[in-house]
Chain A
Amino acid sequence: MTKLIGQRIKRNEDPRLLTGQALFVDDVNIPGMLHAAFLRSDYAHAYLRSIEVSAALNRPGVVAVITAQDMGDEWQPGPPLVSPPPTVKGVIFNSRTQVPLARDKVRHVGEPIALVIAENRYIAEDAVEDIDVDLDPIEAVVDLETALDRSAPLVHADLDSNLAAHLVQHRGDYAAARSEADLVIKRKIVIDRGAAAAMENRGIVADWDAKSEHLTVWDTTQAPIPIRNGLAQRLGLSVGQVRVIAPFMGGGFGPKMMMFYPEELLIPWVSMKLGRPVKWIEDRRENFYATTQERVQVHEAEMALNKHGRVLGVSHNFLHDSGAYDPYGLTIPLNTQSHVLGAYDIPNYYSDLKVVFTNKTLTTPIRGAGRPQGIFVVERLLDIAAKELGIDPVEIRMRNFIPPEAFPYEREIIDQAFAPLILDSGNYKPVLEKAAAMIGYERFVRDEGPRLRAEGRHVGIGIVTFIETTGVGPYEGARVTVEASGKIRVATGVGTQGQGHFTSFAQIVAEQLGVGIEDVHLVTGDTSDFHWGTGTFASRGAVVAGNAIYASTQVVREKILKLASKVLEAPEEELEIEAGQVRVADIPSLSISLGELALLANPLRGAVQPGTEPGLEATAYFGPQYGAAAFGVHAMILEVDPETMMVEIKRYVVVEDCGTILNPMILEGQIHGGVAMGIGNAYFEKLIYDENGQLLNASLADYLIPSAGEVPRIEVGHEETRSPLNPLGTKGAGEAGTIPVPALFAQALENALADLDIEILEMPLSPNRLFEILQKKEKEK
């Protein structure tokens, strides 16, 4: 069997992408297609008094203007997507989901108020400006910490307060641990908002064909199957009448998950009403207002340690900003809760979570999804403790790691899957040792750092660790078919946004079936090809879909060998599959091609024997028992320019253990991109809201995503601790690059500015903000 899993193999999808031949949603063009534009709220919080649309309707080229009133009984809030955890006692969860068009009140800037359909986008946008809307502003809930005050205005007037959820989780007895501790570190840690800012904005094309009673939707979604299911339900159709296609996508990073954005319902709905195809493409400013965001949390965290640096317990009360609605449940803060213990064996834990409604854009997972916040908290507290105790940062981490023999390791809390959090496997120490060796940690601390500091330079080193729970259920499936051409067709339900699924999944199939990578034709994200599954998120594609593909390929392989054994009159054990041929190992001339076998398996005459299925095809599913926990270490050396406060990253090292590697080239690409986003999260990207809930930097000119000048070369090392939970032994890696970067930045900055003795307890920073922190420190002195 030619080994393909684990090889650097060029991607199948690239020639299409490189020549401009890949289909993105905005490339869909249907004769007679109309174009949509939205009127959105300029206010964060206001009563909607009246809307006057006649001027818009009278504009030549305008076909329809839709308001909430026009939807009648079909106006309904969106479905809750992730319900609250049923397994935790005393949980409070107030479900308030987004509405298609605001009816009596707007709750965040950018909330849609009216939908205009016109012959082209230019006319539609003109007509949006013709609409006269009377909004009567009320005080906006913006600040997370005062949102729960009795005097705060209410985002949802039918609730007693702005509390969206409350949940307490604990393990052991933190109070007892604290009373025995030699050292207690207590800090307030604040993380602010950021955007996913995928290069492609969202877009939807819907085409209702009245004669065939069939709806086709092209959608920039990471989860086409749940969107198909939801649309069918909301539009009164059978799932067989709805086809959702997630074509090539210009990045997802979380917000393109199964959100049921208002537009996602409205565009198909209006296509059915008008009997015409309708396209809506989000513009960049809408993307900043109307596409979900993440990261805002305020933490009051405490760590109790003994004098040897062993952590006895962590206590953690935090506020999570849900924005105006909470369709995505508690996924983000549950991830924070389950990552605040990092990679460490911490026996006592107490965590109190309050989720808060505010008059800001909704928050749902973005690459990292609550984990960067959790890791930031634990790594910061450890760094501060290490300093207090005079222990080296690397050493204190070594002392607290979960030892390899303790796996599977039970955290005794529940995670985002509402199941007990169990870390399946890991061997952390060698990963940290490797990273420390790669960056030259000891040499830097001993010689280089002191020498550079003596020269008056502000150069610092950082090294942090993280875990990532990946590959959560419930399940994915795949169908693998050998076609008469000898090519293999693979269909799976997950969408793809650049992760290289066309290649890594093909590697799994090609290795088992003895064909070339280019002979595997993969279809993802088209509900007409495969319609069971959930989607691409939570670093689960390679784990859950990958193993489903592996399982169905195994069945197909068995079918191939069984049929070939009959045809070639040789026992199955003596057969091998190579280069698209099944042959008898000792007699290579005795062979038959996969294509011929496929024909024989689907005969036009004769009979298929009872109890067998036609064709060389199999469908199989994989649902992991629980998620697989990846681990990694990031290290860097950076220099701060004391004049400009700009940082130059001189070295950046990542050592990653995500189990079996399917394609190291693709994995490293995922890590590079993740780190780049993490650098943005740490030092460049912050969504700035004013006290009225206005977003002040809603353009890529003001919201700075890192460019080629800001992202350093990244050196990647690997360890492979196979997950015992799936046959391939894979763990997810899609978010790993992003998770520890803010924590790493904080440690390295403190080290670079050691003479100034600052503490970094917030993210994101910026040159400006670092300057302010230093100024404040100066004043204190």
Chain B
Amino acid sequence: MKLEGEYTFDGPQAEVWKLIRDPEVLSTALPGTQSLEQVSENEYQGDMNLRIGPVAGVFSGKIIVSDEVPPESCRLTVEGKGKPGFVNGTGDVQLIAQDDGKTLMKYAGEVQIGGRLASVGQRLIDTASKSIISQGLDTLNRALQARVAAQVTGKEVEYTPPSESEFAASVAKDMAAGAFSASRMVWIGIAILIIVLIVVLVFISRGGN
């Protein structure tokens, strides 16, 4: 499966780079991360517990960061394994400074999914991935804005990340509005789970380095 997209952050490139290297911010942006360990210079291991709708599962992920060019780009290799299946993938992330002080993120990756995750159907994953990626990036963007504001005022600006259930509810809402609202599908949650995993692992890895 191919994952590809763009997102504009309301802040400068260097701040975005810093932000996404901060594991704490990332773990709050996508709730459920239990641990994140650096096992070698470019390799990280993380566990996350996800509960979205009726589906719950623990995933263990390994991430290798390579070809890093701060604050512009890096390549990620992800191996994730959980009870509902596995995810292996590589992705390239680029941060491009914009004239107006904003930052354009471009991401493109190739992901292999197996087990129960794959069998629920590609069409669901497409819809779900769009929603989850945009939700996750929106959350990060809010964290970024809070940081930028803090730098300007010299004070901490309060930022409250969404809870697991709020996040799941938003995704479910997007999914219900999507193309398969009339489908016979019951295991929507599984598809959501996988996408959250992909996104989280991608962000965790970049944050940890």
* A residues in contact (CB < 8 Å) with B: 42-43, 109, 129, 137, 285, 288-289, 688, 690, 692, 694-702
Contact = CB atoms under 8 A, between A and B. Distances in A.
Size bracket of the B interface = 20 to 34
B25 to A, nearest CB: 32
A692 B115 CA distance: 11
B185 interface: yes
Contacts of A109: 114-115
Nearest to B57: A129
B113 A701 contact: no
Please indicate which of the listed interface residues A285, A688, A698, A699 has the most CB atoms of chain B within 10 Å of its own CB.
A699
Contact of B115 (A42, A688, A699): A42
A702 B120 contact: yes
A289 B116 CA distance: 11
A129 B120 CA distance: 19
Contacts of B115: 42, 109
Contact of B186 (A129, A288, A289, A701): A701
A133 to B, nearest CB: 10
A702 B86 contact: no
Contact of B122 (A42, A696, A701): A696
Nearest to B125: A696
Contact of A696 (B118, B183, B185, B186): B118
14 contacts: A42-B115, A43-B114, A109-B114, A285-B119, A690-B1, A692-B114, A694-B114, A695-B118, A696-B121, A699-B119, A701-B121, A701-B187, A702-B120, A702-B185
Interface in B58-86: 83, 85-86
A699 B185 CA distance: 9
B184 A42 contact: no
Contact of B119 (A43, A692, A697): A697
Nearest to B188: A701
A78 B113 CA distance: 30
A26 B118 CA distance: 28
Nearest to A128: B83
B2 to A, nearest CB: 11
A285 B116 contact: yes
Interface string B110-143: 0011111011111000000000000000000000
Contacts of B85: 42
Given A129-B83, A699-B119, A692 B112 contact: yes
Contact of B118 (A137, A690, A700, A701): A690
Contact of B184 (A129, A698, A700): A700
Contacts of A42: 85-86, 114-115
Contacts of B83: 129
A694 B183 contact: no
A680 to B, nearest CB: 15
A141 to B, nearest CB: 16
Nearest to B122: A696
Given A694-B119, A696-B122, 12 more contacts: A129-B83, A690-B1, A692-B112, A694-B114, A696-B121, A698-B119, A700-B184, A701-B183, A701-B187, A702-B120, A702-B121, A702-B185
B185 to A, nearest CB: 5
Contacts of B116: 285
A514 B183 CA distance: 55
A129 B83 CA distance: 6
A689 to B, nearest CB: 10
A706 to B, nearest CB: 13
Contacts of A699: 119-121, 185, 187
Interface in B97-113: 112-113
A694 B194 CA distance: 15
Contacts of B86: 42-43
Interface in B1-26: 1
Nearest to B114: A42
A701 B184 contact: yes
Nearest to B121: A702
